[in-house]
Structure 1
Amino acid sequence: MLRKKATYLSALGLSLSLALTGCMAGGDDDKETAGGAPKSGKKLEEKVVIYSPHGKDILQQFEQKFEAENKNVDVEWLDLGSQEVLDRIRSEKSNPQADVWWGAPSVMFNQAKGEDLLAEFKPSYADALDEEHHDSDWTWTGTSKTPEVIMYNTKELKKEDAPKDWDELLDPKWKDEIIIRYPLASGTMRTIFSAMIYRDYKDSQDPAKGYEWLKQLDANTKEYAANPEIMYNKVAKGEGKLSVWAMPDVVMLKETKNYPFDFIVPESGTPVLTEGIAIVKNAKHPEAAKAFYEFVNSQESNKTLAEEHYRIPTRNDIKDLPAWIAETKIEAMDIDWKVFEEKSNEWMEHWDNNIKNKKKETKE
């Protein structure tokens, strides 16, 4: 029979009916297959709905790959910032529309766990994850590690002239040369901003110095871009020379899309996020959700994500990874992620209400 053409969902269209009819998955054993989906013998529903910040390139590819191996399952996805995903899942708690949440910092998954938004699911690859890369109750597992870096336009700046550490971004010479993804919608940016506050907060228990740092950064920031693509394009065009962002994305844009980008790992250390995946509690398509969860975290998929999409796996059994992963030295900041979970919303609200664009108000 003809398979329904896969679509990615608009925010309005997502709330339309999510039919629950099934087809048989193959096999009896629970071992990981080459594609990653477990052969549990249980029925897979005809649809699985994914919320993810991973972008259309990854989402379209894994939609097609999963559907090729599960021909009666239609993958639908919504591409949102990770904070937007969390907010949407919260708002849909009484009537979940998503089945899988794929991609966000672990602190956000912990927040969701605390609000009873996630289902427990221990995947077949659990033994390949170190303790820091999964929730103790298996409401989420890590998929990749993401160091944060200073990104610069190589046509506008030589490497030796670009900032080498976070505090160098505050130099007045970078005024109106920095373009930043709007932090409140972005798990990456919320983590970077929270890390800048945490550097002093961990000893003083006072965010004041961190707020002052963000105020100085705001003075040098030309624009807060509404989404990553806008930020990429503006930096690529030279409308700003610098940004701060996730290292794997910078490498991907440079290598696959010929953006004039490179990165510097801050010398004093950088937050290294664990990106995760989870099944939404009371998901309408739970068996298809489990199959997709396993599929995108199989050894084969991890190799694809590392080689084609520049993701650093959390699984410790992935061999022959690209040289850029093996050879890049990362000095990870020592961070109490529980503090981030507890304080990030408060810190970001203060930034949004008291710091953002204050230089423009002063000029006016």
Structure 2
Amino acid sequence: MTTLKGALLCGAAAMVATGAAAEELNLICSADVVICEKLVSEFEASHSDIDVNMVRLSSGEAYAKVRAEARNPQTDLWWGGTGDPHLQAAQDGLSAEYKSPMLDQLTDWAQGQAETSGFKTVGVYSGALGWGFNKEIFEKKGIAAPQCWSDLLDPALKGEIQIADPNSSGTAYTALATLVQIMGEDEAFDFLKKMHANVSQYTKSGSAPVKAAARGETGLGIVFQHDAVSQAVEGFPIEVGSPCEGTGYEIGSMSMIEGAQNPDQAKVFYDWVLTAEVQNMMPDAGSFQIPSNASATPPKEAPDLSQIKLIDYDFAEYGSAERRKELLARWDSEVGSLPLQ
């Protein structure tokens, strides 16, 4: 028979156990799902008192979710994805200021992202925009390997290009902003309308186009180059391309959400993921970006940014709410509304 004293002890133990399990972290991850799952499993293994509820969303989708929940935030921390929507979230008051004790261990570009946002976001990795193409498809169809943005207008590429929708994908928005900065706005939209004749699909996820190319479903995907490298490392016949006119790059970012339900747990993850030890694990999940911790070792497979013609990408302007909304509205009107061939 259970005594009253025994029942009380059991109840107390249950309360302690419940309390221990009650710490949670609600995380949006805007990188490839394998990377997201790697981070969550490693974090929970080293922080057994915190359970992570993770949802994987592309950058544009993540921004939309955070904005929709502004009055009652359901997210504590947003990790990864291009910096532009993170900067817009900061400007819109959706993310919270936080100066991590890890900040002085980061590269200049990562710290610069924090300073630009008023310390409402921070750089976690970087990578250049370009494309990955299926060498076997190109050889079979006699298509010349593209060297420049202008080569993507080649009629031989009709139906062979995939790129994401810039409304949902930070990768595609970076491509849009890059072309505007290289060509001028009207010229960039003229280019995109011409390239549309070669596009078979606008995907939701930024890395999806090169995965389709790897599977032989399309010839070329416009992506961040490290996503193309990831497919090549897995053994697919993918070759990485970098445009001769120059290209933009991303500063993958991380933001704490204003009014988060679990800010203390968010800070624990935030500081943890900025360490060199954690960033050095990323290649194990097929992540070949340049890490933001200055003591971390860039993956040997990562594209050498010093060998790529990078533009002076204006993160402040193209991460601003007004400019981003303006460009996306024009893309919807002039490009996204066009029928696919």
Q: TM-score, normalised by structure 1?
A: 0.80
The aligned residue for residue 148 of structure 1 is 129
CA contact (8 A) 2:32 2:207 kept: no
Q: CA deviation at 1:91?
A: 0.8
Q: Distance in 1 between matches of 2:206 and 2:79?
A: 17
Letter paired with 1:169: L
- Residue 353 in structure 1 maps to residue 330 in structure 2: no
Distance verdict in 2 for CA 1:279–1:75, change over 3 Å: same
- Residue 223 in structure 1 maps to residue 204 in structure 2: no
Which of the numbers 68, 83, 90 marks the counterpart of 1:106?
83
CA contact (8 A) 2:170 2:206 kept: no
Compare 343-352 and 165-174 and name the one that shifted more.
343-352
Q: Distance in 2 between matches of 1:233 and 1:177?
A: 13
CA deviation vs aligned residue, 1:29-87 (integer Å, no higher than 9, x gap):
xxxxxxxxxxxxxxx96100111121321122221111111112111111111011001
Considering only CA atoms, is the larger Rg found in Structure 1 or Structure 2? 2
Q: Distance in 2 between matches of 1:199 and 1:230?
A: 25
Map 1:43-192 onto structure 2 (within 5 A): 46-133=23-110, 134-136=113-115, 137-157=118-138, 161-192=144-175
Q: CA deviation at 1:224?
A: 1.4
Which of the numbers 199, 211, 220 marks the counterpart of 2:189?
211
The aligned residue for residue 196 of structure 1 is 179
Tell me the SS of whatever aligns to 2:124: strand
Q: Using the aligned pairs only, state the percent identity.
A: 25
Q: CA deviation at 1:333?
A: 0.9
Letter paired with 1:69: S
Q: CA deviation at 1:218?
A: 0.7
Distance verdict in 2 for CA 1:327–1:86, change over 3 Å: closer
- Residue 295 in structure 1 maps to residue 272 in structure 2: yes
Q: Distance in 1 between matches of 2:333 and 2:114?
A: 33
Q: Distance in 2 between matches of 1:177 and 1:160?
A: 10
C-alpha RMSD of matched pairs (Å):
2.3
Q: Distance in 2 between matches of 1:144 and 1:230?
A: 19
Q: CA deviation at 1:103?
A: 1.0
- Residue 314 in structure 1 maps to residue 256 in structure 2: no
- Residue 337 in structure 1 maps to residue 295 in structure 2: no
Letter paired with 1:214: L
Q: CA deviation at 1:306?
A: 4.1
Distance verdict in 2 for CA 1:355–1:160, change over 3 Å: closer
Q: CA deviation at 1:264?
A: 1.0
CA contact (8 A) 1:306 1:312 kept: no
Q: Which has the higher helix share?
A: 2
Tell me the SS of whatever aligns to 2:194: helix
Tell me the SS of whatever aligns to 1:353: helix
Structure 1 residues without counterparts, runs of 5 or longer: 1-20, 24-43, 202-206
Q: How many residues align?
A: 314
Distance verdict in 2 for CA 1:181–1:267, change over 3 Å: same
Q: TM-score, normalised by structure 2?
A: 0.85
Letter paired with 2:172: M
Structure 2 residues without counterparts, runs of 5 or longer: 1-17
Q: Distance in 2 between matches of 1:103 and 1:215?
A: 30
Letter paired with 1:61: K
Q: Distance in 2 between matches of 1:307 and 1:284?
A: 31
The aligned residue for residue 245 of structure 1 is 223
Q: CA deviation at 1:269?
A: 1.5
Q: Distance in 2 between matches of 1:327 and 1:113?
A: 30
Q: Distance in 2 between matches of 1:314 and 1:235?
A: 29
Q: CA deviation at 1:187?
A: 0.4
